[in-house]
Amino acid sequence: MKDFESIGKRTPYAEHDDYVRKLIEQATEKAIDSQQKKTRTVSLRTKVIVAAAIAALLLGGFGISYHYLFTEQPTVMAENNNGPIDEFLNSLSDEDAQLLAYYDIEEIPEYE
C-alpha cells in the first residue's frame, strides 16, 4: 500500500503532446479514407445492380412486345350452324321470351 501512495496520482508513463496530436490526426485521416472507399464500393455495387435490373426490364419488354406484335394470333370464325334450340329462341317474340324467363316447373316427375 505504501508503494501506491508514494507514486501519487501521476502515471508512470507520459506521452508528449505532439505525439498524441499526430496519432489523432492519423486515426482521423484513416477513418475518412476508409469511409470514402466504402462509399465508392457501395455506389459501384449499386450502379451494377441498377444496370442489371434495367437490362432485365428492357429484355423482358422487348420479348413481350415481340410475342404480341409478331406472332400470329389465331382467328376464330363464327359458324352459322344454328341448332333447333337456336331456331326456336330466334322465332320467339319479345313477350314470349320474357315469359320464358319466368317459367317455373312446380313439380318434377319421378320415374320408377
The whole-angstrom separation of Cα 18 and Cα 15 is 8
The whole-angstrom separation of Cα 92 and Cα 69 is 44
- What is the block-wise mean pLDDT of the chain (112 residues), using blocks of 10 residues? 62 79 92 79 81 95 86 67 81 83 74 75
What pLDDT, on the 0 to 100 scale, is given for residue 4?
62
What pLDDT, on the 0 to 100 scale, is given for residue 50?
92
Q: What is the pTM of this model?
A: 0.34
The whole-angstrom separation of Cα 78 and Cα 84 is 18
| Nine-digit cell string for 48 | 451494377
Cα angle: 101, vertex 97, 103; to 5 degrees? 30
Any idea which residue has 470514402 for its cell? 36
